[in-house]
Amino acid sequence: MWVTRLCSRCILFSFGYHWIRRKGRPAPREIAPIIVSNHVSYIEPIFFFYELFPTIVASEAHDSMPFVGTIIRAMQVIYVNRFSHSSRKHAVNEIKRKASCDQFPRLLLFPEGTTTNGRAIISFQLGAFIPGYPIQPVIVRYPHVHFDQSWGNISLAKLMFRMFTQFHNFMEVEYLPVVSPLENVKENAVQLAQRTSHAIATALNVVQTSHSYGDLMLLTKASEFKQDKPSLYMVEMAWIESSFRLSTLAAVDLLDKFLSMNPDSSGHVTFHDFLRILRLKPCALSEKIFQFIDVQKSGKITFKQFLLGSTHILRQPLFRHFCELAFVRCNVEGREYILEQELGDALALVMPNLDVDGIHGLFTLFDTDGDGRISKDDFVTCLRQNPLLIALFLPQLLRRELAAAEAQEGMHDG
C-alpha cells in the first residue's frame, strides 16, 4: 500500500505539486466513513489516493483515463453508470455496505458528478447521502495567476501538458467539520445533501446553482453543433429534473431538435425555422403553437423556452391518452396503421392551407420507422419527440369530447 501511495505522490510532484497546503484534519473513519469533495481537476483522485487511500465511487467512463484510471482501480472503485437505474441502485447498496463496516476504507465521492471551474457548486447527486452516515466535506482550491488548472473546456492531453510545463502548481486542501444527520429531526437525503453543499459553498465563498452533469451534456451537444456560445444551452438541469421529471437524455434529444432549427449566435430561433423542422406551414394554428413557447412575444424562442414548453405538455396527465385518441381519430378505416391520405384528411380542418407537400412532410415525420405507414407506436413516438404537435389534433378531439358530453347530457334530460 505504501509503495502505491508513494507512486501517487511522485505523480503529483511530476505535475508540479511540490508541496500541498492542508488545513484541518481528516476525521477518523469510525466517525465519518464518507468523504465528499468539490471536483475541479483530475488531480483530486490522485491526491486523495495518496492522502487517505479511500474507496472511490466513479463513473465507468473514468476507467480508461491515463493515470487516473489506474489509480481509481487500485482504490477498489465502485463503478456507476449514471444513466442506469440498476447501476445507481447497486452503487448505493455498495456504499451502504462498505460505510457500515470499519474493515473497509472510507469512501470518497465527488457528488457534483463532474468537474467544474471551481467558481460555483453545482447540484449534488444523492448517492453519498442516501445511506445516512456522517459525512466529512473537503474543499480543494488551486490558487493561480496565469494557468487555470480546472478541467473544463480543455482536452486532458493539453491540461496535462500545461501542468508539466509549469515550474510549480499550487493546491490547497481543507477538511471541514463533519456533517451528521440530524438526530431529533427526520431528514432525507436531499436535505443532508443541501446542508453539505451549503457548507462547501460557504467555505469556498462561491454560489450554489441548480446545474448538474446534465448541463455538461447539453454544453457538449451544443459544442458538437459548433455553436458560438454553447453555455447558452445550459438550463439548470437539476431544477428541470426535479420540477418536471425530465431525464437528461430526453433534454439532450430536445436540444438536438432545437439545434436543427439553426439558432442564431445568441441562441434564438425564428418562427420560420421553427416551422421548417416541425414540417408545419404558416397558419393561425402554427402561430398559436409558436406563441405558446414565445412567452416574451419577441418573435424568437430560446432553447429553455422550447424545453419548458415541450416538457410542460409531456408531463400532462392525459398526454398519452390524447395521443392514443388522436391515432384513433385519424384511423378512420379501423386498421392498425394510418396512411398518408388519412393523415391529410384528419388535418384538413385545422390546417386548411396544407398542401400535398405539407402533408407528405408531416407523414414522413410521423412515420418514424420509414415503412410507408404510421403505426400506433410510430404515432405516439413522434408526439413524444415533438409534443407540440399534439396541438394539431386537440381541436378535433375537444370537439368530439364536447359532442359526447352534450349527447350524454341529452340522454339524462330525456
Give CA–CA dist 316/293, Å, rounded: 16
Q: Where are the alpha helices (DSSP H) in 207-270?
A: 213-224, 237-244, 248-259
Contact 174, 142 (CB under 8 A): no
Residue ranges, CATH 1.10.238.10, the chain: 213-314, 319-413
Consecutive H or E run containing 15 = none
> Cα-atom radius of gyration of the chain, to the nearest Å?
27
| 208 confidence band (pLDDT: 50, 70, 90) | very high
**Secondary structure of 332-399 in the HEC alphabet?**
CCCCCEECHHHHHHHHCCCCCCCCHHHHHHHHHHHCCCCCCCEEHHHHHHHHHHCHHHHHHCHHHHHH
Q: Out of 53-62, 175-184, 242-251, pick the least confident.
A: 53-62
Q: Who wins on pLDDT, 340 or 58?
A: 340
Give CA–CA dist 347/199, Å, rounded: 57
Give CA–CA dist 260/208, Å, rounded: 32
Q: Where are the alpha helices (DSSP H) in 15-155?
A: 43-51, 68-74, 85-99
Give CA–CA dist 209/281, Å, rounded: 40
Residue 185, CA distances (Å) to 113, 130, 192, 398 in order: 28, 16, 11, 49
- Is pLDDT at 307 greater than 90 in this prediction? yes
Give CA–CA dist 100/240, Å, rounded: 33
pLDDT tens column, 68-97: 667 667 667 888 888 888 988 999 999 999
Contact 173, 140 (CB under 8 A): yes
Contact 322, 394 (CB under 8 A): yes
Give CA–CA dist 331/324, Å, rounded: 11
Consecutive H or E run containing 113 = none
Q: Out of 38-42, 52-56, 81-85, pick the least confident.
A: 81-85
Q: How many CA atoms lie within 13 A of 222 on its CB side?
A: 25
Q: How many CA atoms lie within 13 A of 343 on its CB side?
A: 26
pLDDT score for 402: 47
| 165 confidence band (pLDDT: 50, 70, 90) | confident
Answer CATH for 319-413 from 1.20.1050.10, 3.30.565.10, 1.10.238.10, 1.10.3720.10: 1.10.238.10
Quote the pTM value: 0.82
User: pLDDT above 70 covers what percent of the chain?
Assistant: 93
Residue indicated by cell numbers 439553426: 262
Cα dihedral angle (294, 299, 302, 308), rounded to 10 degrees? 10
| Three-state secondary-structure class, residue 36 | strand
Give CA–CA dist 231/220, Å, rounded: 9
Give CA–CA dist 150/337, Å, rounded: 54
Cα dihedral angle (14, 18, 22, 28), rounded to 10 degrees? 50
Q: What are the counts of helices (DSSP H) followed by strands (DSSP E) for the chain?
A: 17, 13
In this structure, what C-alpha cell is assigned to residue 33? 466513513
| Residue from 361, 351, 358, 356 nearest 395 by CA | 351
pLDDT score for 66: 65
Mean pLDDT of the chain: 88
φ/ψ bin of 3: left (φ > 0), alpha (ψ from -120 to 50), beta (otherwise): alpha
pLDDT tens column, 96-109: 999 999 889 999 99
Q: Strand locations in 296-338, DSSP E?
A: 300-301, 337-338
Contact 99, 33 (CB under 8 A): yes
pLDDT score for 279: 93
Find the angle CA(355)-CA(360)-CA(366) to the nearest 5 degrees.
130
Tell me which CATH homologous superfamily contains domain 213-314. EF-hand (1.10.238.10)
